[in-house]
Chain A
């Protein structure tokens, strides 16, 4: 089962146009970060590395765990907030 299929089972209230996480400086991911650990560690697969080394973040499937913020320990390049009240993941079972 692919991660997309897993996330499909979840309920979200997406705050369109207001992503709660952003990459501070995309150049750092592309040029300075060797590990791009976010593309491996994010349990929702929100971070993808493109062919040219650019890291793209789409927060719609975010499970709000905090992994990306903590593993980006060398560059601290992730701006991480909780979604606005009421938005984001809505666990049915938790």
Chain B
């Protein structure tokens, strides 16, 4: 395989597929390498698909993409051990086409996306792991794969190799990830009859619900839980920062088991048949943790580049957007007859800075630090809010003013007046 390509894309997830698709469509000679048996067989996501990002790559994706349910309702739960306080947003607007978000099953979706990439003309090779980048000095000139004689060359190598990105570490582009910058999420998929899913969530055919959770389910760790409705299954999971898992001595699977017994969650998944258990790292370090994303002969997209907006649970859209912008950059340089040098590839960074991707990450740049150093947002507050709701909603002959006084007392008792003001200020700063 001593061949030369215009571009090599490592990985066939959302970022790699977006890049490979657009490059191939523009007529470039593209090789894509995937280590799984088929695209998707190594990939894990919640999973919510954000239409806008995909539309900008494949405008008519709705015609044949394997989509589970479009989201009509979003819930946010703040949980105590026995209860939760929640808010719900449900809108008929979300029931009008074109739909904005869908649940998907990644193994199916990635396969579909990959077919589009191949139809566009890219050469995909599966069951092949890229072991190293081939360098000429500081310049990446190709890849080495784990097959005999596996050196392949290209003008540009796009690293879409996911959160671990071993290639960038081996090549010395990145240091090892810091446990405080990555979350570990575990999840299960539970199958139920389609009608049961619809009855439990009060939704029609094709309509879906998202529930995001914060509170005692993470047992004091910085993290969140989630529950998504698929066509005939429910995905349930929980994720916390690795640095917290390390401190807490709680196993991820025990955490998930505990979460499944919560009185508000248990009945939703009751009777379901669990068919797969998955785990995945999510790069949640945010803006300040973004590593070097391009250099001579290489570009980096998606999770590998830490493009995840943890606050809004967005990642796959950032992956597809960065894949698209990487492809646009390479195509522009190619058309202008320019070389794939670090200086020329800086155009990629400019495009990212101009997009929602960097703007959003920049907006929440202080969030990880604030949450790391203020665990009360995951423990004390959920407890206080739930107790307050319980008090106000229990009719027991105590007057409301006294109840209010007691609630206020609880808040001040737990956090002090300055603590409360400080927390409010921190949150305001984080969301500013």
Chain B residues, Cβ within 8 Å of A84: 129, 146
Q: How far is the CA of A35 from the CA of B242 in the complex (A)?
A: 14
CB distance from A67 to the nearest CB of B (A): 5
With A6-B188, A45-B251, A66-B163: A94-B176 Cβ-Cβ less than 8 Å: no
Q: Would A94 and B45 count as touching, CB distance under 8 A?
A: yes
B159 at the interface (CB under 8 A from A): no
**Residue from B36, B110, B253, B280 in contact with A3 in the complex, judged by beta carbons closer than 8 Å:** B253
A65 is an interface residue with CB less than 8 A from chain B: yes
Which among A7, A81, A82, A85 has the highest number of chain B CB atoms within 10 Å? Answer: A85
Q: Is B341 in contact with chain A by the CB < 8 A criterion? A: no
Selected A-B contacts with CB under 8 Å, 20 pairs: A3-B251, A6-B188, A13-B37, A45-B253, A65-B184, A67-B184, A67-B245, A70-B178, A73-B178, A83-B35, A84-B129, A85-B128, A86-B37, A86-B126, A86-B128, A92-B107, A92-B275, A93-B233, A94-B47, A94-B105
Is A41 within 8 A of B245, CB to CB? yes
- B residues near A13, Cβ cutoff 8 Å: 37
Binary contact track B195-226/A, C-beta < 8 Å → 1, others 0: 00000000000000000000000000000000
Within residues 72 to 87 of chain A, which ones have a CB less than 8 A from any CB in chain B? 73, 76, 80-86
A-B contact count (CB 8 A): 137
Chain B residues contacting A69 (CB-CB under 8 Å) are 164, 176
B414 interface contact, C-beta 8 A? no
Contacts of B274 on A, CB cut-off 8 Å? Answer: 1, 6, 9
Determine the residue in chain B with the shortest Cβ distance to A88.
B42
B182 CB-CB contact with A under 8 Å:
yes
Q: What's the Cα separation between A92 and B252 when bound, in Å?
A: 21
A76 closest partner in B (C-beta)? B176
Please encode chain B, from 117 to 154, with 1 for each CB lying within 8 Å of some chain A CB and 0 for all others. 00000000011110100000000000001110000000
Residue on B with the closest CB to A82? B129
Chain B: interface residue total (CB-CB under 8 A): 53
Whether A89 is near chain B, meaning CB under 8 Å from some CB there, is yes
Closest B residue, CB atoms, query A73: B179
Given contacts A85-B128, A91-B276, whether A71 and B242 have CB atoms under 8 Å apart is yes
- Which residues of chain A in 17-73 are interfacial with respect to chain B, using CB atoms and an 8 Å cutoff? 35, 37, 40-41, 43-45, 63-67, 69-71, 73
> Could you tell me the distance in whole angstroms from the C-beta of A48 to the nearest C-beta in chain B?
12
